[in-house]
Structures are given as C-alpha cells and as structure tokens.
Amino acid sequence: MKNRMILPVIFFVTIFIVLYFAYPLKGISSNSKISNGMPDSLTNKDESSMEERNKSEDEWKRSLSPEQYKVLREKATERPFTGIYWDNHESGTYKCAACGNELFSSDTKFDSGCGWPSFSDVSSSSAIELRKDTSLGMIRFEVICKKCCSHLGHVFDDGPKPTNLRYCINSASLNFKKEEKKQP
C-alpha cells in the first residue's frame, strides 16, 4: 500500500513544481516590453553611478556591516521575521543601505505575511534593475539597486492591485528615513 502511494505523490509534486515555477511573472511581463527577461523601463541604461559600481569588495566590506555585506554583495537572504523593517509602519522613505539611493516609499509598503518588507511599487523605475534569477529551481526576478548594483531582494507577481507586484526586500539592504512631521 505504501509503495503504491509514493509514485503518485512524486508525480503530482513534480507537476506542481514544474507548473508553479515555469511561468514568468505575469505582473512584470504582461504590462511592458521585455528585453532579456526584464522590462525595458527597469534595465540599466544610466551609467552615471560608476563610482559606486567600481568599489572594490574590500571597500564594500569596510563600509557595510557583516550582515549587510552578505545580503547586498553576496546575495544572501536574511531569515524571515528577523529584519528591522519587516514590521515597520512609520511614514518615510527606504533607501539602499549601500549607496543611499531612494528605492521605496512607505506609502507602497504592505504586510504580505512573508516576513520581509514588501512593497507594491518602487519610488522610481530608474532606482532599480531587475535580473532574471533561476537559482533554487525557480524562475523569479532579482531586484538590484541601479546605482551600486547591490542585491536587494526579489519581485513576485502576487502583490496588491494596481501593480500586482510584491517587491520582497531584505531589511539589511535598506535604511529608513522617517518622514519629518510639518509643524503648524
């Protein structure tokens, strides 16, 4: 009896994995022209930030904390529900921890339940770059700071309307600037 169950389970798991990971992100590819798997508006065409891009790895190690270096430069992922910003509800701006590039507004932050800060949109399409990532047997898009080429996280097509996108970003890759309240 046990042996008869193993093959159907393996079959259905295999089919699920193939179907689940084989489709590209609907929210990204259906609304824009794709060039090398990325929307044209998010590919890197601005080379004005070469100084940040040309930092040596030793310079990055000196300027970042060990956790930031692992996430931003080695593409590590922090454990869910451990980052400083996953449950931050204050108003302000999220910037790249490596270079200070403005990335996200708290207006687009939402609780996705995934354990990482999630945003439905970027501050500007010129702030990030997307790269197709096929690691871990999945097809997804890596989110990279366009100014310094640091790894931020990934984007998925299961976010809220109108973008249907969920930018799932490591807290270690971000710095938060709290919005200053205007005094009457």
Q: Report H helices in 36-153.
A: 50-53, 57-63, 66-74
Owner of token pair 């996280």: 153
SS3 138: coil
Number of neighbouring beta carbons within 10 Å of residue 134: 10
Question: Is 114 part of the annotated catalytic residue set?
Answer: no
Q: Give 99's Cβ-side CA count (13 Å radius).
A: 23
Tell me the one-letter amino acid at 103. Answer: L
Domain locations in the chain as residue ranges: 25-178
Contact assessment for residue 91 and residue 179, using Cβ atoms and an 8 Å cutoff: yes
The one catalytic residue among 96, 145, 149, 168: 168
Output the tens digit of pLDDT for each of the chain's 184 residues: 556 667 666 655 565 454 444 444 444 443 333 233 444 444 444 444 455 677 899 999 999 999 999 999 999 999 999 999 999 999 999 999 999 999 999 999 999 999 999 999 999 989 999 999 998 888 899 999 999 999 999 999 999 999 999 999 999 999 999 988 776 6
Give the fold, CATH level 3, of 25-178.
Answer: 2.170.150
